[in-house]
Amino acid sequence: MIKNKTQFDALITDIRNFVRFRWHPMEDEVERLGEVPEVLVQELRRKGYFGWSIPQAYGGLGLTTEELVLCAFELSQASVALRARVGTNTGIGSEALVVDGTEEQKQRWLPRMATGELTGCLALTEPEAGSEATNIQTTARKEGDVYILNGMKRFITNAPLADVFTVLARTEFGTSGSVGLTAFLIERGTPGMRTGEPYRKMGQSGSPVSDVYFEDCRVPAENVIGGHEGVGFKTIMKVLNKQRLHLSALCTGPAIRMLDLAIDHTQKRNQFGQVVGNFQLMQAMVADSQTEIFAAKSMIVETARARDRDEDVSLSASMCKYFASEMCGRVADRCVQMFGGSGYIADFSPIERYFRDVRLFRLYEGTSQIHQLNIAKLVLREHGKVTV
């Protein structure tokens, strides 16, 4: 339980040490195995890392948004599989229960998610509901005290290993868009639900992603999050608003790590009788990357503080996600360049793995285009202009 600054500083030091001394030496093995070894998962459980954002009343650390992003900056200075293993519990996998669950639902699931005994995930996306997230085709028909779900979810992070799934389904037939949608908490093993094989992906080896299928899946009515039908999209938007900030921080850590690796390389690699880090064209890439990392950190911390003051951060959180994810892509590209040919060869450097891992950031939890549209819509609204 975090009570004061000293304890928080100790947590930051603990994360830093775990990332440097336990995780970095394992990154190649995680890439090769395609999974995070159980011994490391157990360590993460013992350290309480699964419960960062879950309130203390339910066994978590109850970090503020500012504390959460500061921890995320540290944890994500590593290959993405590390933070993805705990990240659904500290974000999209538990947050619907945290913000809108009934007291009974919170008591039932959150303590076991906080310890990492249960892994959560968010199953929103479908084949026809990607950027258009309200175009949900999965249906949930009420029959007595159960709902019968039919449909499928696509691209669900941690689905192959998750124990509990936050699922959005259409409960009011004939509706479209965000109305008539209900959020459910569904346990693995519920009859009629199954997960697909993990996909083969561009990157993020060790972070499994798959489809989820519902075939006459019988879900108890008591699993409707908050107990209310028809308000599921509002719940999911609350989850995603916080998650945008969390993810922005998780986009920044890899940029910091990549720049560290690239600077280290350019201080060792000799060409033309000196280390390549002496050349000003190399230093320009260091300057641009460091400046952009600083900008991302500043806007993320500023927005996290505003959220902790209960201010509306819809616009700034969207700007953070857009900027930090695009920034990380630019830094990754420069770092490959600073490594030269070695940046392209997995046998010579981890940079090509990072380059592939971070490409996803600009795609999920709102593509860059969706955030551009959202930012423009909110800014124009502030200026009294109506947008389409």
Q: How far is CA 23 from CA 16, 32, 41, 80, 87, in A?
A: 10, 14, 11, 11, 15
- Report the b/e string of 118-142 with b at 16+ CB within 10 A: bbbbbbbbbeebbeebbebebbbee
Piece of 103-111, 155-163, 255-263, 293-301 that binds ligand FAD (CB under 6 A): 155-163
Stretch that binds ligand FAD, among 55-63, 76-84, 244-252, 368-376 (CB under 6 A): 368-376
* Nearer CB in complex with ligand FAD: 124/300: 124
Q: Residue 72: CA atoms inside 13 Å, Cβ hemisphere, count?
A: 32
x/- map, 193-232, ligand FAD, by CB under 6 A: --------x-------x-----------------------
Among 115, 135, 190, 367, binds ligand FAD (CB under 6 A): 367
| CA–CA dist 86, 88 (Å, integer) | 6
Q: Does 290 bind ligand FAD (CB under 6 A)?
A: no
Among 76, 77, 105, 157, binds ligand FAD (CB under 6 A): 157
CB closer to ligand FAD out of 85 and 297? 85
Smallest gap, in angstroms, from Cβ of residue 322 to ligand FAD?
Answer: 11
Beta-carbon contacts of residue 158 (< 8 Å; ≥ 6 apart): 84, 85, 88, 93, 119, 120, 121, 207, 208, 209
| Nearest CB to ligand FAD, comparing residues 155 and 355 | 155
| Residue 365 designated active-site | yes
Torsion angle of the four alpha carbons 243, 245, 247, 249, in this order, in degrees rounded to the nearest 10: -150
Nearest distance from C-beta of residue 363 to ligand FAD, angstroms:
6
Which segment (34-42, 152-160, 213-221, 314-322) binds ligand FAD by CB under 6 A? 152-160
Task: Report helix, strand or coil for 216.
Answer: strand
Of 92 and 114, the one with the shorter C-beta distance to ligand FAD is 92
- Please say which residue, 95 or 365, places its beta carbon nearer to ligand FAD: 365
Smaller CB separation from ligand FAD, 56 or 372:
372
Q: How far, CA to CA in Å, does 256 sit from each of 36, 229, 251, 320?
A: 22, 43, 9, 16
Map the footprint of ligand FAD across residues 123-142, applying CB under 6 A. 123-125, 130-131
Which distant-in-sequence residues (6+ apart) come within 8 Å of 293 by Cβ?
252, 255, 256, 259, 327, 331
Alpha-carbon span 5 to 374, nearest angstrom: 36
Active-site position among 31, 67, 352, 365: 365
Given 122, 164, 251, 258, the residue binding ligand FAD (CB under 6 A): 122
Q: Contact, 239 vs 95, CB < 8 A?
A: yes
The position carrying tokens 């590390």 is: 82
Which residues contact ligand FAD by CB under 6 A? 121-125, 130-131, 155-157, 201, 209, 360, 363-365, 367, 369-370, 373
Active site amino acids: 365
